[in-house]
Structure 1
Amino acid sequence: MEKRELPNSTLILVFGILSIIGCCCYGIAGVIFGIIALVMSKRAIEIYNADPELYTGYQNVKTGRILAIIGLVLSGLSLITSIISIIMFGGLEGIQEMQQEILREYGG
C-alpha cells in the first residue's frame, strides 16, 4: 500500500513558524497561529498513531508542534509585556511623553 502525506502536516509546520514570527506583532498573531498549529497537530498525531505505516510527514507535524509551543511562549511574553507597558505608561501617548521627558532631561 502506498504511503500518504499526513493531513495538514506542511500547514502545521508553516503555522508553527508563523507563531514565532508573530511574537513580534505584540504577541497577538503568534498566539493565534500557535493555538491553531497545536490543535491541528493534535488531530494529525491521532491520525498517525491510528495507523503509522500509512502516513508520511510525521516529522513536519512534530517540528511544527515544537515551533508552535516556542511561539506561544514567546508570544505570551510579548503580549504580557505589551499589556504591562500600556498599563504603566498609558498607551502610545504616555510612552511618547516619557521619551520626550528623557530627551529633555539627558539631551540638554
Structure 2
Amino acid sequence: MEKRELPNSTLILVFGILSIIGCCCYGIPGAIFGIIALVMAKKATEIYSANPEQYTGFQNVKAGRILAIIGLVLLGLSIIAGIIAIFMLGGVDEVRQMQEEILREYGG
C-alpha cells in the first residue's frame, strides 16, 4: 500500500510559523494561528496514531505543534511583561497621563 501525505501536515507547520511571527509582531492573530495549529495537530496525530504506516509528513505536524506552543508562550510572556511594565510605571492612570502628554507634545 502506498503512503499518503498526512492531511494538513504542511498547513499545520505554516500555522505554527505564523503563530510565532504573529505573536511577536501583532499579538492576537498569532494566538489564533497557534490555537488553530494545535487543534489541527491533535486531529492529525489521532489520524496518524491509528495507522502510522499509511501516512508521511508527521514530522511537519510535530514541528508545527512545537512552533504553535512556542508562539503562544511568547504571547503569554509579552502580555505578562506588558502588565508588569504598566504597574512599574505607576499604574494604568499614570500610563494614560503619559500617553496624553506624548499626544499633546507631538500634536495628536
Would the TM-score normalized by the shorter structure come out above 0.5? yes
Q: AA paired with 1:6?
A: L
Pair 1:58-2:58 in alignment: yes
Q: Distance in 2 between matches of 1:6 and 1:95?
A: 52
Q: CA RMSD in A?
A: 2.6
Q: Distance in 1 between matches of 2:50 and 2:71?
A: 28
Pair 1:96-2:103 in alignment: no
Cα distance change on mapping 1:34 and 1:18 into 2, 3 Å: same
Report the counterpart of residue 42 of structure 1 in structure 2. 42
Q: For the Cα contact (< 8 Å) 1:19–1:75, is it kept in 2?
A: no
| Bigger mean CA deviation after superposition, 56-65 or 76-85 | 76-85
Report the counterpart of residue 105 of structure 1 in structure 2. none
Structure 2 unaligned segments of length 5 or more: list them. 104-108
Scaled by the length of structure 1, the TM-score of the pair is 0.76
Q: For the Cα contact (< 8 Å) 1:28–1:79, is it kept in 2?
A: no
Seq. identity, %: 74
Deviation for aligned residue 1:61? 0.2
Structure 1 unaligned segments of length 5 or more: list them. 101-108
Scaled by the length of structure 2, the TM-score of the pair is 0.76
Cα distance change on mapping 1:95 and 1:68 into 2, 3 Å: farther
